[in-house]
Amino acid sequence: MSFKHTFEQTSLREYDIRGIVGKSLHVEDAFAIGRTFASIVLKNGGKTVVIGFDGRVSSPSLEEALVNGAVASGADVIRVGRGPTPMLYFASVTLKADGAIMVTGSHNPANYNGFKMMLASKPFFGEQIKHLGHLSHIGDVVPETKGTVKTIDIKKEYIERLLKDYDGGERTLKVVWDNGNSVAGDILPALLDKLPGEHIVLNGEVDGTFPAHHPDPTVAKNLEQIIASVLENKADLGIAFDGDADRIGLVDNKGGILWGDQILVLLARDVLKNHPGGTIIADVKASQVLFDEVKKAGGEPLMWRTGHSLIKSKMAETKSPLAGEMSGHIFFADKWYGFDDAIYAAIRVMGIVARMNEPLSAFREALPQTISTPEIRFDCDDLRKFKVIEEVAERLRKDGADVSEIDGVRVNTPDGWWLLRASNTQAVLVARCEGKSDAGLDNLKAALTRQLEMSGLEKPDFSGDNAGH
């Protein structure tokens, strides 16, 4: 039977295949991904594909179609069932699979879903995803045959491995966990049963409609419930997850939010004790404070492009023991496998806090204070957005500005820094400013606005709350 399938173009993203179920993403797409990705694995000399899915309402039917597609290409499919994305990564690495696919909508609204992939335990992204779309469109797949399917339960092994790296010593903690109705709810009860301390779980039931709040812990509004619970219970810390548990949110004992770069400072100081001089990677949106603190702790800070697949690839290249993004993706290669895992990051954070002689809030309050805008996103045509970055970069170079062009433009001035980059996943430009004072922040906003106006764009809306950082 001949095979050809064309995907909705907007669903082929930089890091995954993603869309609105029933509109830009369908069961037929899942079958086509299984059929084409398994063909790539087989042409690559492989055979085994591990498949898992998250807690969204649409995930089981998409997973079934995905499995059928992979089997039709002759793959030996290992189904690991419902669980967090990091559990699928863990299965891929420990089972030495030739390929892996996770059905997940990540932190997107309930009506979205998608697919994250690994080929030979490495991220499958960018041009590889475009190529998969092309192969499917022209029907360039292996002849239809019949592969095999087996189901394994890897949860127990995954939980045991997570627990192995808890190093909190004698002191026990009181921890509030906001599962956010995420698929981490399949792991947490058994994990917390074996972790020392007192644990309070909010929204523990896996529910793909996310009734409590949106499953994104990088948005302050989504942390209101956990902050209230930490304060009410006089807890030592609060830990929150996104929909597929590969991104972490952290709240200290005073209800203060630790953002992605601050979490990374906490972890970097600990990891660098065993990896002196190690390279610590953060994305271009991270605070200057992070890069300065890594240096102070004896590490080599490296600013890199935003995107979990890009960060993972750079980690492997530089042999970095630790990396992170503002979006809450934390990657450990120290004792772990180099992929982003919010549950593992939580275990390591707990160990550090349990060994501290002071509360977590003291760590946050001791960091140098800056004032920053939230991430500002504004619409810009997909083709035009990259052109704008080129124009701005050219003008800055002519002006002799102190500018990094790793990912868009990040401009350092005596007042602080500002960033403008093109999103890899949407038709938007992303901006951020971080100043050393209110006046400095105003100067940075003005400099950014001037550059946008010179490229024919309107002033962005800076009306969101500035955050102390």
Query: What positions carry a catalytic annotation?
Result: 106
Place of tokens 């292996």: 142
The phi and psi torsions of 102 (rounded to 5 degrees) equal -115, 125
- Structure tokens that stand for 89 in this block: 């990564």
Cα separation of 356 and 199, whole Å?
19
Cα separation of 58 and 112, whole Å?
9
Sheet strands (E) in 75-167: 76-82, 99-103, 112-119, 122-123, 148-151
- Structure tokens that stand for 50 in this block: 């591990």
DSSP structure string for 171-184:
---EEEEE-TT-GG
Report the DSSP beta bridge partners of residue 42. none
The phi and psi torsions of 197 (rounded to 5 degrees) equal 100, 180
Distances (CA, A) of 205 to 50, 52, 71: 25, 19, 32
What H or E segment, with its residue span, contains residue 392?
helix 382-399
Beta strands at 300-304 and 279-283: parallel, antiparallel or unpaired: parallel
| Cβ-contact 313, 301 below 8 angstroms | no
CB atoms within 10 A of CB 297: 18
